[in-house]
Structure 1
């Protein structure tokens, strides 16, 4: 349904542009692509939902023309997607279009039979137009005869000869109008369908090679019974991959256990989650007493890394029960109290912090009364306060409920709270976990030895939605300077304005007040000199393969294999990953691929938004050593936004602390921490 909502919005946007903008009717062809992709990957009801949702939006904005454009896109895209998914060809499309044309023609004929006054009005209009055209031809023929010149005389004879046939053809068409309507419907729909098939099938062929490898499977029906579960010699390899994503594993999970799963990036932690959530292994056996029952009562619930992708309701209380069957009795207040959100049922979910959103996602999972709850690195994107609150919730679930918890984590403190730890690292030497450290206090400027200023902020403020009733202040009166070769850590809780500050430094947004300069010029004009790695690494990866992504980001040819391998090696990635698809990587590997492409560009400034999230301890240490060497030896200016502080003291000798959009002084930060 989430996919249907997004595709409906895209199709509606195309339809509105096609109707509202002059000479932009061709844009409507783009609306077929999201509908075709939806029908290609999902069931028919997703396409129907998207068609009606997109049609409603287009009708409200652009009227009946917008609505009909969405319906046509849904028909053509849906037909092409379904035919492609079932492995059929053009003859199937042709046959379906003939059936659709006959059905549509019969519908219009029936409607015109019932609406007699409308039918007579249409027929009178057609007759008047035909009569007018015939009389125009006759008048033109007389005028050309009056001129008397030979070429005009021949033309006059031709025009005069067309007048009676026009009247006769129109009269015949109106006498047998039902056949004409059905025939026209069949012909037009058949032509449009074949054109749509020819265009859209090529697009879907390209999309066929982009597997959604981390997608949760649609659960098989059956009596819920995910526990106890036994995995025997289970391994998994993604389609087209050369290596197993999960090495052979034996694992038992019993009722009432809290198990922590650890391991290096790429060791198969997320793949194990998918297998426990219902995906079939490549080999081995998974034995359960009943069905996985993903998202169903007494079944399996999953809480993922990014809370924004799991919270759907606009009100906290609504989100807890989102998707539950009607009549299901849920004590929402008790669940919110259990996860530390007491009294927040009426709050808008858009105003929650990252930690609060994750606890809300846990409450939504608990509303299903699951037998097995899987938490996949749920603390990696939230601040320390949010982590502590989440850990307190997760560690007590097995005592308060008849359930088991499988927690995937890189953090030592989180794993120690579990009943037992399962490590997926192939080597016993690679079992080091990410530690924790106290929040560093803000520090003043360090000695720059005459280095030139690179980033200069002077009384910068930023307000989202400025001038509207929804205006929201993100930064207020921020002033600081970062010199060449500086290493600066920007710390603050969720919602303190860290990401907004990074976007302004990178020139991606312009502050509403104050000046933001990079090398003496406005930051918006210096975006090429500032490289930024976003918090959600997957959204920054635009190419299908690792080598293509690194080469594209760095600006060299993807055929230069040696440079690709060298770029990957700098961030601790093996050369064998160069040909791997992006969607086959773990979250930590994706983050390092982004960094490999950015470093290969040799940027002036490197901004890293949560660079250590989801990265295992060994690779965290290697990345920090690499960045520290680059900063000291090449003068690279590094700005790090992070909730993780272990090992950052060498890379970032200077710390800035943000609180509610305001930059705290060193004395204020030290006083708060004490």
Structure 2
């Protein structure tokens, strides 16, 4: 889970929440959730109307509305319904408006009743009340609108006549058809009762079907444990998060067999810069949660006052995925998102401090990864925190971005009289701290990740035995092609990768590396040129080139490790031998097979993705930032594994990375992308060709 401001991106537990805000206005997190769910609901509604025969998509709108009703206050559901219905009405007309209202009713009702622990009898009672209200509304409207009433009755009569005509063609049904027609004609004389009965019956049917289907979705969510969540706790008194003292504090996630954080005694003083290091799974992120206000399973955490997560003068958190931390569409708006009304913030000075001077009016969608991460730091500093926690914030940005972020963090405690807790795997980042806390079992903290200069481009790969596995010829790609927002990501990229080759592709954030990876994996069709896998278009043969994404969590679709690996590789999750073998191939213990995905560390998630992909035995493997979030030992183990597979099995490996230490054996060939263009390799004389 990643967040720029905990109060803006906080994730609620899947079940009913106990610390729900009771104020009169929406909190920042409630506004964010209502906005996201409203946009999703409106999009699904519009698609269900404008796409022929896609009406069934409207049923999906009940899911986001149900989640809001299940996790948040009713006013959040109402805000999302209002926003979604307005958008749907403006684009799709009255049909879109009614779809949103109906789905908000069904989904919201299901979520609220489920949250309060009620059952089917409550659903029936509420649906009857809703039917009566709906019936009165219809009757009142038709009483006033006489011409609409006449048109409605004529349409109903025509439908009945059609049914009767069909039934009368079959002798056994003819008497019943005539009786039905007489009954309907009589019922029209008492049309208010007829419409009331119809409204109640239809509302009950729709509500019960929605309850039956959606409650099962919410029931599954109830079983997902609350892990890796930043959750502001109910606190009284002044905000004072430091100094903070942990005494034998440990933490175990619900349902887990082992502690995520072993008993730890630690003191973090005011104004101190502390670097937290340790192997994957040693509890670094869990320690961040305890420092942010989460209660330990045992032991104590003592502070002079409230944690103040996301509040002025409290605790601020910045995490590693920059693209998931921004809420504002404008840089200046994002800096002040969620601040109390009336708060004076010198936006220009904060942006200048983090190296974004003059960017107040820039669109956040056009920022690079490093710029987004610096914006996250500026937004955290806008809260004037007493303690700032930076959780591996340099792992997803290029070397230039890392250097800039490091210069921002260096001396931050002196400039702002605050405590900085920096979680990192990198040696140079730990070196600038006042003190290093190592959470690994070993007390030797020398095994952190070093840094190396980017390797120079080598001669483009050429096939040396048989046809190449990957062949790119004149590949170019433009996003939003043909629109005013068109943006060129790649231009005239040509190279070949033979079986068993190892290729490193590097370049700055925004240079086109990930776009190139998606094209090679067949997930994106190039705008110009061709990308072939064994002589066939890559986009026509998905799966032959496997790709591990930067954000491993987004690639994990199953609840448990064994199910995820089996699903990715295409075998049964009951085949424990193959699951254990796949885990062992990436250095994971067999005991993790039945672990829930959300109980894994970031590095463990990355290796689970690789386990599933390797078990599928692809033609080639593309790894997008495979070393991000891994400790030094894990990096060495993964690189050794991949190098052995490349040499012994002929696996073709393409690595996209900002980290270069140890990649020489795995990737003897290097390609460098600059602004979507491959850099030329040096000539034999040392110049440029």
User: TM over 0.5, yes or no?
Assistant: yes
Spell out, residue by residue over 1:131-177, the C-alpha distance to the aligned partner (whole angstroms, 9 max, x if none): 9999999999xxxxxxxxxx99999998888887655432333xxxx
Query: Quick one: which of 73, 78, 82 aligns to 2:112?
Result: 82
Q: CA separation in 2, counterparts of 1:537 and 1:134?
A: 57
Q: 1:540 to 1:313 in 2, by over 3 A?
A: same
Contact 2:424 2:430 in 1 (8 A): yes
Q: How does 1:579-618 map to 2 (within 5 A)?
A: 579-618=594-633
- How far the C-alpha of 1:257 sits from its partner, in A, is 0.9
- For residue 473 of structure 1, give the secondary structure of its aligned residue in structure 2: strand
- In the other structure, the counterpart of 1:215 is 229
- For residue 88 of structure 2, give the secondary structure of its aligned residue in structure 1: helix
Q: How does 1:275-354 map to 2 (within 5 A)?
A: 275-354=290-369
Query: Quick one: which of 431, 451, 456 aligns to 1:441?
Result: 456
Q: CA separation in 2, counterparts of 1:205 and 1:490?
A: 44
Contact 1:130 1:167 in 2 (8 A): no
The more displaced of 381-390 and 521-530 is 521-530
Query: Quick one: which of 91, 95, 100 aligns to 2:121?
Result: 91
Q: CA separation in 2, counterparts of 1:68 and 1:130?
A: 21
Q: CA separation in 1, counterparts of 2:108 and 2:33?
A: 14
- In the other structure, the counterpart of 1:67 is 97
Q: CA separation in 1, counterparts of 2:491 and 2:182?
A: 80
Q: 1:567 to 1:134 in 2, by over 3 A?
A: closer
Contact 1:430 1:618 in 2 (8 A): no
Q: 1:476 to 1:186 in 2, by over 3 A?
A: same
- For residue 38 of structure 2, give the secondary structure of its aligned residue in structure 1: helix
- How far the C-alpha of 1:191 sits from its partner, in A, is 2.7
RMSD of aligned alpha carbons: 3.0
Tell me whether 1:197 sits opposite 2:223 in the alignment.
no
- In the other structure, the counterpart of 1:471 is 486
- For residue 421 of structure 2, give the secondary structure of its aligned residue in structure 1: strand
Q: CA separation in 1, counterparts of 2:173 and 2:568?
A: 65
Spell out, residue by residue over 1:297-326, the C-alpha distance to the aligned partner (whole angstroms, 9 max, x if none): 111111111111111111111111112222
Contact 2:518 2:524 in 1 (8 A): yes
- In the other structure, the counterpart of 2:13 is none
- How far the C-alpha of 1:667 sits from its partner, in A, is 2.6
Contact 1:227 1:254 in 2 (8 A): yes
Q: CA separation in 1, counterparts of 2:418 and 2:347?
A: 19
- How far the C-alpha of 1:518 sits from its partner, in A, is 2.0
Tell me whether 1:517 sits opposite 2:532 in the alignment.
yes
Contact 1:441 1:670 in 2 (8 A): no
Query: Quick one: which of 144, 151, 160 aligns to 1:118?
Result: 144
- In the other structure, the counterpart of 2:190 is 172
Spell out, residue by residue over 1:82-113, the C-alpha distance to the aligned partner (whole angstroms, 9 max, x if none): 2212222112222322333344445556666x
Q: CA separation in 2, counterparts of 1:526 and 1:331?
A: 53
Q: CA separation in 2, counterparts of 1:499 and 1:128?
A: 60
Query: Quick one: which of 51, 56, 69 aligns to 2:81?
Result: 51
- How far the C-alpha of 1:4 sits from its partner, in A, is 3.3
Q: CA separation in 2, counterparts of 1:22 and 1:575?
A: 49
- How far the C-alpha of 1:530 sits from its partner, in A, is 1.1
Q: CA separation in 2, counterparts of 1:26 and 1:470?
A: 32
Query: Quick one: which of 642, 647, 665 aligns to 1:650?
Result: 665
- For residue 527 of structure 1, give the secondary structure of its aligned residue in structure 2: coil
- How far the C-alpha of 1:602 sits from its partner, in A, is 2.0
- In the other structure, the counterpart of 1:632 is 647
The more displaced of 535-544 and 102-111 is 102-111
- For residue 664 of structure 2, give the secondary structure of its aligned residue in structure 1: helix
Spell out, residue by residue over 1:54-97, the C-alpha distance to the aligned partner (whole angstroms, 9 max, x if none): 21222122211111111111111111112212222112222322
- For residue 649 of structure 1, give the secondary structure of its aligned residue in structure 2: coil
TM-score by length of 2: 0.88
Contact 2:461 2:496 in 1 (8 A): no
Query: Quick one: which of 380, 386, 389 aligns to 1:365?
Result: 380
Query: Quick one: which of 561, 569, 572 aligns to 1:554?
Result: 569
Tell me whether 1:13 sits opposite 2:43 in the alignment.
yes
- In the other structure, the counterpart of 2:64 is 34
Q: CA separation in 2, counterparts of 1:168 and 1:101?
A: 23
- For residue 289 of structure 1, give the secondary structure of its aligned residue in structure 2: coil
TM-score by length of 1: 0.90
Q: 1:137 to 1:29 in 2, by over 3 A?
A: closer
- How far the C-alpha of 1:181 sits from its partner, in A, is 5.5
- In the other structure, the counterpart of 2:24 is none
Q: CA separation in 2, counterparts of 1:309 and 1:237?
A: 27
The more displaced of 255-264 and 39-48 is 39-48
The structure with the largest helix share of the pair is: 1
Q: How does 1:483-498 map to 2 (within 5 A)?
A: 483-498=498-513
Unaligned runs of 5+ in 2: 1-30
Q: CA separation in 2, counterparts of 1:379 and 1:156?
A: 78
Larger Rg belongs to: 1
- For residue 478 of structure 1, give the secondary structure of its aligned residue in structure 2: strand
- In the other structure, the counterpart of 1:535 is 550
Q: CA separation in 1, counterparts of 2:395 and 2:338?
A: 26
Contact 2:260 2:283 in 1 (8 A): yes
